[in-house]
Structure 1
Amino acid sequence: MEASKIHTENDQQRNISLWKNSNFLLLWGANVTSLFGLQVYMIVMPLIIYDLSKSALAMSTMRMIEILPNILLGIVAGVIVDRLSRKKIMTVTVVFQWLSIAGILLLLLFQGIQLWSLFLLGFIFSSSGYFFLNAYHSSIPQLISKEQLTDANAKFSFVDTMIRMIGPGIVGFVLAATSFQKTVSIQLICISAMFVLIRLIKVPLVDQKGKQNSFWIDVKEGIMELIGNKVLLTPTVAILLINLSSSIIIGILLFFAVDIIGVSESEVGLMLSLGAIGGLFGALLLKKLVRHFPRGKIFTYVLVFEFIGYGILVFANSWLVIGMALAIRTFAVTIVNIIYLAFRQEFTPNHLLGRVAGTTSMLMKLAMPVGFLFAGLWAEWLPVRHLFVLTTIIVSLIFISLFRTRFYNIA
């Protein structure tokens, strides 16, 4: 009876304005608190590790541990998200995140913190966060109409970019004025707020289509859905290659800026902030673009901006030029990612969405260490600027290939 009531209430809200949809607002609020808490984590955790070890290897090991859940648990998370209540999964994973950060705070307070404990708690935090994000993204189509998915993802992306821009400055100020312990306490407050907001959301149960398969059959079903869904497979392959080129740039950009161009530490901050501005414009402009052009065409033609961004890096000679190149590139990447998320939510049956999201996320994250390693080896033996030429070639090939696909004309 209660589940039926939730379905009825959700059906009434799905087609109303996003800002009048209470479930959307609660999810949006949970996203805001989650993102700000994550900024605390991303800044404080490396500093704690460095303070303990004075080791770049220890810091990079933590970065690898944060990526591992996407690779190791991607498909597993997808099956669980499709089988169980997505609200319960979000609730439980927020509790695990709270416990892991509370554990770090207690170790700091009692001065018992060690590297192995940070690695363990960091893995629990990252794994819980990955399960949360899968359930979070899979629940969005249950709360709003298909016609609103692109707009909703644009709103999520806008606030994500905004917090990434202003968050580090706020966290840095708090950290400078207080201590590790008090700064980590802020993240604990953010996670507590997330818990309250998630508990208030009314997410209907997933329709299992009357089936209860084995785990491996469920895994296969998700993989086959991705392979057989030609509308979704095309942008998935495109983004896989885009992520590969992005990871190549990320892996070498700071080395290029500091070692070759001679950018100072303060200029690095300005450069990255300038780059993030492109994401804000992308999220704001997309809603207007989709009114006039098919999303497949927008996805395709916006790659021209990514091509231009990489092309500018080939000739960059100052932090300002690098920042402008990053802004142009981020503009394109933001639009591509928003459209892809909306397509995945719109063209995947909801009872398979967790598995498809888990599979695609795993594939895309696998591209990152490959790109990092490739960029590092290249920089050891070959000119870095030639690497930027390579990424422009990759993007141009993706652009040309999309013209021959059905996806190109999809609205």
Structure 2
Amino acid sequence: MTQVMKGVRILEVAQFTFVPAAGAVLAEWGADVIKIEHPVRGDTQRGFVNLGGQKVDPLRHTLIEHPNRGKRSVGLDLSTADGQALLYEIAKTADVFLTNYLPAARQKHRFDVEHIRAANPNIIYARGSAYGDKGPEREVGGFDNTAFWTRSGVGLSMSPAELEGPLSQGIPAFGDSIGGMNIAGGISAALFHRAQTGQAVELDVSLLSTGWWAAGAAISQATETGVVGRNRMPSSGASPGNPFLGSYRTADGGTIVLNTLTPGPYIRDIFQHLGVPEAADDPRFATAEALMTNWAEASALLVIAFSKQPFAYWRQHLKTSKCQWAPFQSLLDLTTDEQALANDMIVEVEAIDGGAPIKLVRSPVQFDHVTHPTERSPQASEHTETFLLEMGLEWDRIEALKTAGVVA
């Protein structure tokens, strides 16, 4: 298998999901990711007792597994001088320092860029934040629900204007996971740049910039036209102007989405698949221009056609169509989607409780058609002793640090 990050060490001083997700991606790619956690509390996210209203099993904590797979955990108290000194020793062995702590905390505990660079001038320093490392709100913290979904405009655009208020973010760590991938890409570019030039850079990714990049096409359109696009209320039928672009209800309440942006080449194919082949010869629908002029009448035909068969029928029947379409699936549906499984999108890791393996979604990049085996996330401070011994620390020193509460 190709481990593109083999030989790279990432020193991660971060918690929650946004920045740790970048470490998880790099670990899947073969990097040695050392996660520094508080020796008593660990990552704050380990203490979550419920997620979306559901009780969290601390031994099967999916919001820890998702962004921390494949790492090694070292318990280290960075509020102490001895802990900071040990952090600098580790930094000397690392290629990248990765953090999402706010500027005041980085300065207080002496792991801001100048402190880490004093230990290792050649280290790449990567920061993740809510709103960016410049400007009047660089000291303000936030989560993806605030910075990515709410403030970026993404949530408002996804919410139909007819609703009483905008929709809340329905997926935990949604922007965090996207933003973590952005950081992993930035780190990859920074490592390439250092290899080419010898220069080690600082890099920044914010949840706000992640939201704006994800919505970039819509933002540019809004600034060009002065009109902010909003999602439409759900209904069975087409988007205005194109009957082959819309959501259609099936007989049993499922939904099939047609997304054929250029309808002309698919007129006969779609009407035949929907059981109304004669519509392709109707002058109102026979050309792209006519079809888009008479889109409402064509949409009404499609609404009736889709309503005659159940979701499972259309999901199978449309596989022979040349148009662009998709079944509207739930998150759970994806775990049995044959195409997703064929592309190794689900990986299994052992569970700490010894029960059934935990299923995780692999990171989206695959090298040479092979998925790198993914290991479970570490328990808090699980690798402290073995890693410090690997670093060359004598056992007496480790014992003294443990006695002093500097390491766990």
TM range (shorter): under 0.3
TM-score (norm 2): 0.24
**Would you tell me which structure has more strand in proportion to its own residues?**
2
* Structure possessing the higher radius of gyration over alpha carbons: 2
Structure number with greater CO (CA < 8 Å, separation at least 6) is 1
TM-score (norm 1): 0.24
